[in-house]
Structure 1
Amino acid sequence: MGIFSIASQHIRFAMKLACAIVLALFVGFHFQLETPRWAVLTAAIVAAGPAFAAGGEPYSGAIRYRGMLRVVGTFIGCIAALTIIMLMIRTPLLMLIVCCIWAGFCTWISSLVKVENSYAWGLSGYTALIIIITIQADPLLAPQFAVERCSEILIGIVCAIIADLLFSPRSIKQEVDRELDALIVAQYQLMQLCIKHSDKSEVDKGWGGLVRRTTALEGMRSNLNMESSRWTRANRRLKALNTLSLTLITQACETFLIQDSRPETITDTFRELFAEPVETAQDVHKQLKRMRRVIAWTGERDTPVTIYTWVGAATRYMLLRRGVIGNTKISATEEEVLQGEAIVRPESAERHHAMINFWRTTLACIFGTLFWLWTGWTSGSGAMVMIAVVTSLAMRLPNPRMVAIDFLYGTLAALPLGALYFLVIIPNTQQSMLLLCIALAVMAFFIGIEVQKRRLGSLGALASTINIIVLDNPMTFHFSQFLDSALGQLVGCFVAMMVILIVRDNSRARTGRVLLNQFVFAAVSAMTTNTARRKENHLPALYQQLFLLLNKFPDDIGKFRLALTMIIAHQRLRNAPFPINDDLSAFHRQLRRTADHVISASSDDKRRRYFGQLLEELNVYQEKLRVWEAPPQVTESVARLTGVLHRYQNALTES
């Protein structure tokens, strides 16, 4: 049954892609656009891009969101191009070089913003370059060309959205409901492992999988939010559920760590309660009711703090889960949960990686410009455009080299496919709009199926083929022009791949070190008496950084454990009752300044010096806590943090 469902989704999306392309082609020729190719190309990319990323038919809202990003990116690129032309029209070479730097700048920005928004910035970089390259013969046509390009792109986006709506877009709501049920069962099973104090590798596998699933659920929330305004209430609940899921992971892992030194903390009563197996969300609900009765009988004081917090978070999770599934009106009890702490956004740890991406795009575009001007090759401009497109779009993805190879394979596949359409099919169908539409629909249908399978080169082949076959008004068929255009694409992709291979990305180790130091800063900054600061919720940001660490170092268990220890330390210190006085408040600010110096240090020597200073200040701070008679909950947590920082000093200071 599942195989038939997947096959039907593949066929439905392939028909959707074919419809989007045919609709854009028909509208482009009906309204006598000068280059209907841009409308067709936009419709193809907007529809096929999310399918390639998702590995199947994209969920409802994904195509609309990508279309919106393309509109934003195009407008930013057009405005940038017109500004550069107005300022530097008298110096064409300088104008091109500044445009190459603009493309690099947009790639730099796209490497720092959220992944789902990076497409707009990458697009704005090469849009400006396309405009400036195209109007080299007559710069006065720049405003007209910018307006035409925006109009054609808007037509393509509208056609993609109409096709999406015509072929019943897939709603993600059922997937969200199923994942909410499965996630709470997995959370309960992780807590069972931690209370039993199972093998470390088994626990590591459990919490690592839950971090990934919680991150995936947050991605589903974004899709659901894009789908329709009627999911606004569900979106609010899912935001809070993300924090609750992360809280459950943290408390479970802390329960495991506590038993390394104090196994007697977990009483036999709770060991017996968590020994009960669970299979469904209803089983978890029954177990939580039993636990709440036991806690009410034993009292909060006699309940281990991690279990008490875990049960409270799981109870709130079940409450909000019910609201998401039914999409009911938010009750007063739910409103109290939703009116929680302000969520803090994480600071990017990939600044060095972003700078490398800037240089890759800038150098590749400048090299392409010089090659074009030196050779005078008529398709050198096409090669430049492909260089900008590949470097701009590849840099933000985890494996830019594979993206460049995908484009290269796509342009190679476009040579015979484009030649077939250019030499045989289109010349024999140009007298009939119906035959032309059918011909393009057939190509889009079969490539649409391959795109959903993430076949290497499929997306590049679709875009490259549409780009080189003549879809201008009027159509002209000059084989030399076709060959030049196809070779220009091929050379551009090859040059972009060479630049990516030559300009090596050595930022992985530095990013890992910055991420670990950000965890240290979060733990240190939790030591505060400021009420507003204590109410800030850093947990989603910390786990987002942990997820990045998981992706950067998939096999380094030591880094994950250290990061998780820092997250647990942050949560302990955030809830600890620090004595309120001016002396400690001033020292908290000093600790934060020193921890910030550790993150921003420009060399290993400076980093080691500031880290040593931080350790000395933490020793002084512990003395101050004793003087001010801080409770054991505070002194023990600070001592644990200091011990961990001493133990992992080398890992936290060396690049």
Structure 2
Amino acid sequence: MNNWVPSWWPALLYSAKTAVAALAALGIALLDGQAMPFWAMSTVYIVSNPVAAATRSKAVYRALGTIIGAAAAVFMVPLLVNSPLMLSLALAAWVGGCLAVSLLDRSPRAYALMLAGYTATIIGFPAVNRPEAIFDTAAARVTEILLGIACATVVHSLILPQSLGSRLGPRLDAWLANAESWLADIVDLRPGPDQRATFEQDRRRLAVDAVDCVLLATHVPYDTSHWREANRTVQALLYRMLLLLPILSGLADRRRGLGDDPALAPALADARQWLADGTDAADQPDYLAGAQPASHWPDLLRESFLVRLGQASMILRESRQLLGRLDDPRRALPAALAGERVHLRLTNDPGQALLAGLSAMLAILLVTAFWIYSGWPDGAGAAVMTGVFCCLFAALDNPVPMILAFGVAITSAIPFAGIYLFGVLPRVDGYVELCAVLLPPMLGMGMFLLHPRHGLLATAFAMGFFSALALQQEYNADLERFINGNMGQLLAVLAAAGVSAALGTTAADAAIARLVRRQHHDLARLAGANSPPDPARVLSRASDHLSLITQRLGAGDDRAVMGLSDVRIAVNIAQIQQLRASGDRRLRVACTRLLQATSRYFARSAPGDAPPPALLVHIDRALRSTLGAAPPRAGHGGELIGSDPATGRAALVAFRRNLFPDAAAFDPAGIGGVPA
């Protein structure tokens, strides 16, 4: 940021833009005679984002979710209004089902289904006492939500909009700079043993940063800059970022295994010079020029290192070309890059999704049972907020702390809203005066919206403030109703937190163990597949697992090291699958047996179990089937899986190093091998 721009300016600008959008939504709702204008104001604060593309993305899916939820409520309430228990069960099941399915998709699309779940309760539960007005209530809800969405989208798109490229571009550039630094450290055999733990921890964070970029890039199609037309370029670049993680990690492993090998000196000198010249300014060196077919273990290790060094250099160069195209759309790309199509898919957890949906359903049922049997006139609000709290934080391993913090933020706004409702608003006459008295607290709340720790709580405070004020066409404040209605939020917090603590809480260690098991199940399925997999899906899922594990770990935890090793193994298996598909009969048989043994190992063993010796025998037999092949060919960096036997041979060497790092050297003659 420029030095002349104060550090508080972005927060103030964003706060002012959001306040303008909310007040515009309020004014239009009042002018149009809408029943609940505060719904439109709250929507503005919910969908707003400093990046205009993210605001539009969220707006589209919030609109879709609102319409679906309203339709569900209109269908269920008239049908089941005479059976309160059945209606409660139907609405609770709807919320739980929508939430569970939404958690299986980590793209912005998930927001639509989650919102469809609790929107049905927002419309359905309050309409129980007036079922004949359900359609009017649903129409009002949809109209005011769409109004808030429209105002937020227009304001954040027209008034000093922030392009997604201005947020994502620097992150991509910084990530590639870190990857280039990693390659330079590998070439120079840095760091020393005393620094290696911190070094490896920093490198594992690259997985988290890469997946964060993948998630941020889901908003690219909604950007208004040239980035919107460059979505394929963004996906190709993200694919290479994910690909660099296992390649650089494997390269570091080979480098440590080879040490100061004099035979590597020419290639290392070329790599240093290439990095010094700039990865986007020069052709990469041919590290395998003049190489002879490898057969003995030191030669195989050296060849594997040079293959990985060539792949890393090529992918870094192509990544810089792609990033340059994003910065300047007039910049030409090589034909292979321009025509590439990549589909990245992140992982999901069906078990956690089902448990979260069940927790939300049970919590809503408990609150509605209390509401029905106690005769509490304002119990509908408690049932509604219970569903909202359960849905918002269902993706967390332990949602209880955030539910409590969010609930505290909402309820802490209630006394402040009471001061305004009973002390300030009675003296206000007209829309202009109303805006004048509302603007100061809105600007104050908005200043915290961009804070990395307090932004979500500031949004909760704003929601609580607007909901407690409940601005309508005419001033109509009732202290008893104000207290009684807002007490429901306390019950909702307790119910959502209590049920989540009983059913939906997972300790960090248990969550990590579950992620590691899922990664091993993925490896077993990958090895057991009958055809070569889509490399982009293999990489995105494996890297996402590593990211989720790393996010839950502290410094120096060996489980993140294992997670990075699993990403390398996933790539190795994908390469071996391709080697099997393109090899001769002898090689196909050897690779098939190896893949079958690998699938059995990952399917049956617990994380941390040593692989069986028979698996090493299968790796060595497959390796022998590749001996004598010509050195690997340099190719397009997006081709994760080379089809020539020599590239497959490098993958087998890497697979052997990953699973059996301390095994005896490979014996090309196979003398004394233990039969499988």
The TM tier, using the shorter chain, reads 0.7 to 0.9
Tell me the SS of whatever aligns to 2:143: helix
Q: Report how far residue 91 of structure 1 moved.
A: 1.6
Q: Report how far residue 71 of structure 1 moved.
A: 0.9
Q: 1:77 aligns with which of 66, 69, 73?
A: 69
> Are 2:210 and 2:241, in contact at CA under 8 Å, matched by a contact in 1?
yes
> Are 2:524 and 2:599, in contact at CA under 8 Å, matched by a contact in 1?
no
1:643 and 2:663 aligned: no
Give the 3 Å change call, closer, same or farther, for CA 150–25 of structure 1 in structure 2: same
1:490 and 2:513 aligned: no
Residue in 1 aligned with 2:636? none
1:227-266 to 2 correspondences below 5 Å: 227-228=223-224, 230-263=226-259, 264=261
Task: Write the distance in 2 (CA, Å) between the matches of 1:483 and 1:42.
Answer: 24
Give the 3 Å change call, closer, same or farther, for CA 611–413 of structure 1 in structure 2: closer
Deviates more, 1:5-14 or 1:608-617: 608-617
What code does the residue aligned with 1:351 have?
P
Residue in 2 aligned with 1:653? none
> Are 1:618 and 1:642, in contact at CA under 8 Å, matched by a contact in 2?
no
1:580-595 to 2 correspondences below 5 Å: 580-581=584-585, 583=589, 587=593, 590=596, 594=600
Tell me the SS of whatever aligns to 2:40: helix
Residue in 2 aligned with 1:651? none
Give the 3 Å change call, closer, same or farther, for CA 361–2 of structure 1 in structure 2: farther
Task: Write the distance in 1 (CA, Å) between the matches of 2:263 and 2:85.
Answer: 72
Q: Report how far residue 395 of structure 1 moved.
A: 1.6
Tell me the SS of whatever aligns to 2:448: helix
| Deviation per residue, 1:458-493 (Å, 9 max, x gap) | 222211111121412343222211122222223322
1:495-534 to 2 correspondences below 5 Å: 495-503=495-503, 505-506=505-506, 508-520=508-520, 523=523, 533=533
1:44 and 2:51 aligned: no
Q: 1:205 aligns with which of 201, 204, 212?
A: 201
Task: Write the distance in 2 (CA, Å) between the matches of 1:217 and 1:642.
Answer: 30
Task: Write the distance in 1 (CA, Å) between the matches of 2:27 and 2:94.
Answer: 35
> Are 1:15 and 1:445, in contact at CA under 8 Å, matched by a contact in 2?
yes
- Relative to the length of structure 1, the TM-score reads 0.84
Give the 3 Å change call, closer, same or farther, for CA 508–341 of structure 1 in structure 2: farther
What code does the residue aligned with 2:420 have?
Y
Task: Write the distance in 2 (CA, Å) between the matches of 1:315 and 1:538.
Answer: 22
1:306 and 2:308 aligned: yes
Task: Write the distance in 1 (CA, Å) between the matches of 2:623 and 2:164.
Answer: 54
| Deviation per residue, 1:352-404 (Å, 9 max, x gap) | 32233223212221111111112222222212222111111122246523322
Deviates more, 1:625-634 or 1:350-359: 625-634
Task: Write the distance in 2 (CA, Å) between the matches of 1:511 and 1:265.
Answer: 45
> Are 1:89 and 1:139, in contact at CA under 8 Å, matched by a contact in 2?
yes
How many pairs does the alignment contain? 619
Give the 3 Å change call, closer, same or farther, for CA 593–168 of structure 1 in structure 2: same
Give the 3 Å change call, closer, same or farther, for CA 133–329 of structure 1 in structure 2: same
1:140-289 to 2 correspondences below 5 Å: 140-195=132-187, 196-198=189-191, 199=193, 200-228=196-224, 230-263=226-259, 264=261, 267-274=264-271, 283-285=278-280, 289=283
Q: 2:319 aligns with which of 317, 327, 349?
A: 317
Q: Report how far residue 96 of structure 1 moved.
A: 0.8
Residue in 2 aligned with 1:33? 34
Task: Write the distance in 2 (CA, Å) between the matches of 1:418 and 1:182.
Answer: 44
> Are 1:46 and 1:66, in contact at CA under 8 Å, matched by a contact in 2?
yes
> Are 1:132 and 1:142, in contact at CA under 8 Å, matched by a contact in 2?
yes
Give the 3 Å change call, closer, same or farther, for CA 645–414 of structure 1 in structure 2: farther
> Are 1:422 and 1:469, in contact at CA under 8 Å, matched by a contact in 2?
yes
Give the 3 Å change call, closer, same or farther, for CA 262–518 of structure 1 in structure 2: farther
Task: Write the distance in 2 (CA, Å) between the matches of 1:149 and 1:505.
Answer: 33
How many percent of aligned residue pairs carry the same amino acid? 18
> Are 2:44 and 2:151, in contact at CA under 8 Å, matched by a contact in 1?
yes
Give the 3 Å change call, closer, same or farther, for CA 627–524 of structure 1 in structure 2: farther
> Structure 1: where are the runs of 5+ without partners?
51-57, 599-606, 647-655
Deviates more, 1:297-306 or 1:69-78: 297-306
1:103 and 2:120 aligned: no
Residue in 1 aligned with 2:563? 563
Q: Report how far residue 518 of structure 1 moved.
A: 4.4
What code does the residue aligned with 1:314 have?
L
Q: Report how far residue 336 of structure 1 moved.
A: 0.9
Deviates more, 1:114-123 or 1:35-44: 114-123
Give the 3 Å change call, closer, same or farther, for CA 19–204 of structure 1 in structure 2: same
> Are 1:21 and 1:444, in contact at CA under 8 Å, matched by a contact in 2?
no
Task: Write the distance in 1 (CA, Å) between the matches of 2:32 and 2:490.
Answer: 32
Task: Write the distance in 1 (CA, Å) between the matches of 2:336 and 2:273.
Answer: 31
Residue in 1 aligned with 2:671? none
Give the 3 Å change call, closer, same or farther, for CA 26–465 of structure 1 in structure 2: same
Task: Write the distance in 2 (CA, Å) between the matches of 1:145 and 1:197.
Answer: 66
| Deviation per residue, 1:554-575 (Å, 9 max, x gap) | 4463222222222223333433
Q: 1:120 aligns with which of 112, 115, 118?
A: 112
What code does the residue aligned with 2:51 have?
Y
Considering fraction of residues, name the structure with more helix: 1
What code does the residue aligned with 2:557 have?
I
Task: Write the distance in 2 (CA, Å) between the matches of 1:470 and 1:341.
Answer: 49
What code does the residue aligned with 1:92 have?
P
Residue in 2 aligned with 1:4? 5
Give the 3 Å change call, closer, same or farther, for CA 98–584 of structure 1 in structure 2: farther
Q: Report how far residue 623 of structure 1 moved.
A: 8.2
What code does the residue aligned with 1:361 have?
A
Task: Write the distance in 2 (CA, Å) between the matches of 1:620 and 1:346.
Answer: 34
Residue in 2 aligned with 1:378? 377
Residue in 1 aligned with 2:353? 354
